[in-house]
Chain A
């Protein structure tokens, strides 16, 4: 019996069931073909308006959502807010209410504060998609990562996925951990101890600070961007030392499985967390991730557009 999507919002993978995640991935699979046709557009969301509210700068995610919306024939509006709440003067709810007053049907939101989309989703009747909140979740990125793994490996169940990098500040890692563990994948997180969040071992993942241990039996290595500007917070001694210990390069990959996949949510610090030859080499599926992101975001928009609370009134047939 195929499951049915009933949620108004997608704020994270934490609260989703395995069936709901499967449905999202299956729907994305069906939508993949739209981008392969001469007319890369379907009329599904014709007449619907999607607001993309990016309170934190983003290029990749914003473009991907925008294109997904256009492929589904939705009308879109863009809002790019300030990075600092101190200078914005208006509170988030008011900003969004203003946009809601323009009668949008769906809000895609990235925000620098964890939980911002959750609060908004509770207080507004329109659907809210979390495009990344603080250090909390980035559900569509995790879904596209899972989609890519499933596509390449045929399944997620029993697949070993290692996350290497700044786990502490990574919403990508957090969403992936929620999602992957629900679908039966085995997750390892690997970082210097300073970049591991408190209590992460209770999330059903293996925790290590040894890169070699993390990648030895990994089917997938998902690298996280190191924020070089965080250095003054004493997380690690130097970029040089970080790269020496945690960089994925062809040398260290000799100790990994021969069919290992290399993933990265981007943008990549070439030569820091990932060497150029690996990034451009045969293991890398980084560009597949970008392509799949489109189908996944179309799937999210498609499913959510059917469950708008209150709905609209339609006359006759």
Chain B
């Protein structure tokens, strides 16, 4: 099933090995066999790379593929295919499934189904049993099954003692502790960012403090326990500041941001469109600017989608009752290139770092992820940075269509993904 491929004169971007040049890349039997100025004799399909960039395969540190339990929203197969369509070769699924990912059999099942696509899934396991915030999950067992990170995702562990123990235990196993930092009591009945716009729309607000309080506690516990803390989908200026300060102090903390938080603000929620309801909520322009700065100065390590599919029926509910979350794997690269590359916030090497290299490092993935290396399995993303396209509801591969970018024109797109050595292409 692997292809022999020759990518001719493609612009290779590999921040790990400091490559930024137009080269020929040969792939034989799914392995990168040669990278050089010009490859003359090669078998298999030849792709003209003159208009393209080649990035190490993108890795999404935060997705919800909903299986097991919520297959009406997404399955491992549909989610994986959507991710490949968006240029990803690997993803970390969140454990809020049913049953939750707190047992090795759930992990086995997810990885097996992903292999059939083929696609790489590195499931995050729960930090506490049943994500109930009461007892630690069997992390050693979960790690053996393939988990590289633990988290209770949407349910922040508010019990500080339990969080301390979880972080100590996870650090012993060198598992990444992923935190959806949110003090739920402060969020209250909130459904969007607290501020002028929530008052204007008559919707309950979630203050920035709900995130910032939680980020700061987690940082203090990371300092205490020495655990590797990764704060996911940060949305506030306060969180950026806290993480920057913690990094300066040498605390092991990293962070990611979603494409929607770096590109949109709470002003977008006109007309009570539930495709703009997510958690954390879209914040103010002030916060968004802080996020762009944190991306540029390295405070934010990664960009992850928080791909959260929901059915039309669910999103058809009234704003206050509709579930939170938006899809993201298919629009992520387009949004990032439009908002960061074309607006000169990050160059392509930095984008490759945030969407591939750093995730691979944080998750301690094997050789060949996050870089383009001779002898490694080909996991690569082919990008046309100038391709303009309109996000259309009918064109999503994902089972769900709840995107906040429908109708937007984006500039830049993954036009092909090579995952496990197999080429998926759409528009050559």
Residues of A within 8 A of B (CB): 14, 85-86, 91-93, 111-116, 118-119, 122, 133-137, 171, 174, 197-200, 202-203, 233
Whether A136 contacts B196 by the Cβ 8 Å rule is: no
Q: A136-B202, A137-B202 given as contacts; is B319 within 8 A of A115 (CB)?
A: yes
Listed stretches B148-156, B173-181, B310-318, B376-384; interface member: B310-318
CB-defined A-B contacts under 8 Å, sample of 5: A91-B313, A113-B321, A114-B272, A116-B272, A199-B195
Please report the C-alpha to C-alpha distance between residue A6 and residue B196 in the assembled complex, in whole angstroms: 29
| Cross-chain contact B319 with A113 (CB below 8 angstroms) | yes
Interface contact A111-B318, CB-CB below 8 Å: yes
Check: B30 CB closer than 8 A to any chain A CB: no
Residues in B neighbouring A122, C-beta threshold 8 A: 271
Complex CA gap A14/B270 in Å reads: 12
Contacts of A14 in B (CB 8 A): 200
Question: Once the chains are docked, how many angstroms separate the CA of A85 from the CA of B198?
Answer: 21
Q: Chain A residues with Cβ under 8 A from B320's Cβ?
A: 112-115, 134
Q: Is B164 an interface residue (CB 8 A)?
A: no
The residue that A114 contacts in the complex, of B201, B207, B316, with Cβ under 8 A, is: B201
CB-defined contacts of A200 to chain B, threshold 8 Å: 199
Task: Pick the most buried of B201, B205, B207: most chain A CB atoms within 10 A of its CB.
Answer: B201
Contact of B271 among A86, A116, A119 (CB under 8 A): A119
Question: Closest residue of chain A to B321, judged by CB?
Answer: A85
Q: Are A119 and B194 in contact (CB under 8 A)?
A: no
Query: B203 on the interface (CB 8 Å rule)?
Result: yes
**B272–A118 contact, CB under 8 A?**
yes
Interface string of B1-36 (1 = CB under 8 A from A): 000000000000000000000000000000000000
B287, chain A: closest CB distance, angstroms: 14
Minimum Cβ distance to chain B for residue A118 (Å): 6
CB distance from A98 to the nearest CB of B (A): 15
Chain A proximity of B43: nearest CB distance (Å):
56
Give, as a whole number of angstroms, the nearest-CB distance from A177 to chain B. 10
With beta carbons under 8 angstroms apart, the residue of A85, A112, A134 that contacts B203 is: A134
Chain B neighbourhood of A85, CB < 8 A:
317-318, 321
Shortest CB distance B257–A (Å): 23
Contact B195 A116 (CB under 8 A): no
Complex CA–CA separation, A110 to B271 (angstroms): 17
**Residues on B with beta carbons closer than 8 Å to the beta carbon of A135:** 202-204
Report the bound CA distance from A135 to B318 in whole Å: 13
Complex interface: chain A residues within 8 A of B318 (CB): 85, 92, 111, 113, 115-116, 119
A311 to chain B, nearest CB (A): 25
Per-residue A-contact encoding for B385-408, CB less than 8 Å = 1, 0 else: 000000000000000000000000
- Do A198 and B198 form a contact, CB below 8 Å, given A115-B203, A119-B272? yes
Binary contact track B331-345/A, C-beta < 8 Å → 1, others 0: 000000000000000
List of 5 A-B pairs having minimum Cβ-Cβ separation, nearest first = A136-B202, A115-B272, A113-B318, A199-B196, A197-B199
Task: Specify which chain A residues have a CB less than 8 angstroms from the CB of B204 in the assembled complex.
Answer: 135
Q: Are B194 and A91 in contact (CB under 8 A)?
A: no
Residues of B near A174 (CB, < 8 A) are 199, 202
Bound Cα distance A93, B317 (Å): 8
Asked whether, in the complex, the Cβ of B200 is within 8 Å of the Cβ of A198, the reply is no
CB distance from B77 to the nearest CB of A (A): 28
Contacts of B316 in A (CB 8 A): 91, 93
**Which residues on B sit within 8 Å (CB–CB) of A118?**
271-272
- Name the residue of chain A whose CB is nearest to the CB of B273: A119
Given A114-B272, A116-B318; A198-B203 close (CB under 8 Å): no
Q: How far is the CA of A119 from the CA of B275 in the complex (A)?
A: 13
Nearest residue (CB) in A for B200 is: A14
Least distance between B307 CB and chain A CB atoms (Å): 24
Q: Which of A111, A114, A134, A198 is in CB contact (< 8 Å) with B196? A: A198
Q: Which residues of B contact A137 (CB under 8 A)?
A: 202
> B316 — nearest CB in chain A belongs to which residue?
A91
Provide the B107-138 mask, 1 if CB < 8 A to any CB of A, else 0. Answer: 00000000000000000000000000000000
